[in-house]
């Protein structure tokens, strides 16, 4: 990586933490932590862990109270939980419309609020419900897992 790029991604303050991309947070964490990570489970987790690391190494530019406040889940701004790429995708009207679609499901004549709820109630393998939901949305109605499934559009 070029030096200018590293300087551009340098993390020195809490503001830098909030504005850094996830890759930069991983690099910072691995450069300063005793146990490196490959990735964080979420952006919010990355921010919390880097902020905690900054506090533990007593970063002179980070105010301890600001870091303590940041470690409270409720104090992490909502915009931090969404990556820049996700934010950009949500600005596309087609993507927004598709993501806002909600539907219930009817299984053998009984309505459930979601495919997940139906899988739980019918004691079906939870690891398959997301992929199945996609197929069911495409087809609208289908036979699977010994049941008749039908999608019920709620807001589209």
pLDDT by position in tens, the chain (length 156): 455 455 445 777 778 888 888 888 899 889 888 888 999 888 888 888 888 888 777 545 545 555 556 555 554 555 555 677 877 888 888 888 877 777 889 999 999 988 999 999 999 999 999 899 989 988 999 999 999 999 988 765
- From 32, 59, 87, the end of a domain falls on 87
Q: 93 CB contacts (<8 Å, ≥6 apart)?
A: none
Q: How far, in Å, are 6, 50, 67, 85 from residue 45 at the CA level? A: 22, 8, 14, 18
Statement to judge: residues 20 and 77 lie in one domain: yes
- From 87, 120, 144, the end of a domain falls on 87
Q: Is residue 139 part of a domain?
A: yes
Q: Is residue 93 part of a domain?
A: no
User: How far is the C-alpha of 58 from the C-alpha of 44, rounded, in Å?
Assistant: 21
Q: Is residue 3 part of a domain?
A: no
Statement to judge: residues 82 and 106 lie in one domain: no
pLDDT at 83: 72
Backbone φ and ψ for 107, nearest 5 degrees, come out as -120, 115
Statement to judge: residues 75 and 50 lie in one domain: yes
Statement to judge: residues 21 and 71 lie in one domain: yes
In terms of pTM, does the model score above 0.95? no
Q: How far, in Å, are 92, 102, 103, 118, 155 from residue 98 at the CA level? A: 10, 9, 11, 22, 11
Helix (H, G, I), strand (E, B) or coil at 75: helix
Range(s) of the domain holding residue 149: 101-153
pLDDT at 65: 57
How many CB atoms sit inside 10 A of residue 126's CB?
Answer: 10
- Residues found in the chain: 156
Q: Is residue 41 part of a domain?
A: yes
Q: Is residue 117 part of a domain?
A: yes
User: How far is the C-alpha of 66 from the C-alpha of 59, rounded, in Å?
Assistant: 12
Q: Is residue 105 part of a domain?
A: yes
Query: How are beta strands 141-144 and 147-153 bridged, if at all?
Result: antiparallel
Q: Is residue 145 part of a domain?
A: yes
Q: Is residue 46 part of a domain?
A: yes
pLDDT at 91: 85
């Amino acid at each position: 990586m070029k030096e200018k790029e590293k300087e551009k991604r340098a993390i020195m303050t809490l503001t830098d933490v909030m504005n850094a991309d996830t890759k930069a947070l991983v690099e910072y964490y691995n450069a300063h932590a005793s146990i490196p990570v490959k990735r964080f489970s979420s952006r919010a987790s990355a921010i919390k862990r880097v902020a905690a690391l900054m506090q533990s190494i007593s970063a002179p530019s980070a105010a301890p109270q600001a870091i303590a406040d940041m470690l409270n889940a409720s104090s992490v701004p909502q915009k931090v939980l969404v990556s820049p790429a996700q934010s950009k995708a949500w600005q596309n009207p087609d993507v927004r419309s598709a993501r806002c679609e909600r539907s219930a499901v009817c299984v053998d004549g009984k309505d459930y609020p979601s495919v997940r709820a139906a899988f739980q109630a019918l004691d079906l393998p939870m690891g398959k419900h997301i992929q199945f939901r996609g197929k069911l949305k495409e087809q609208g109605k289908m036979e699977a897992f010994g049941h008749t499934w039908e999608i019920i559009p709620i807001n589209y």
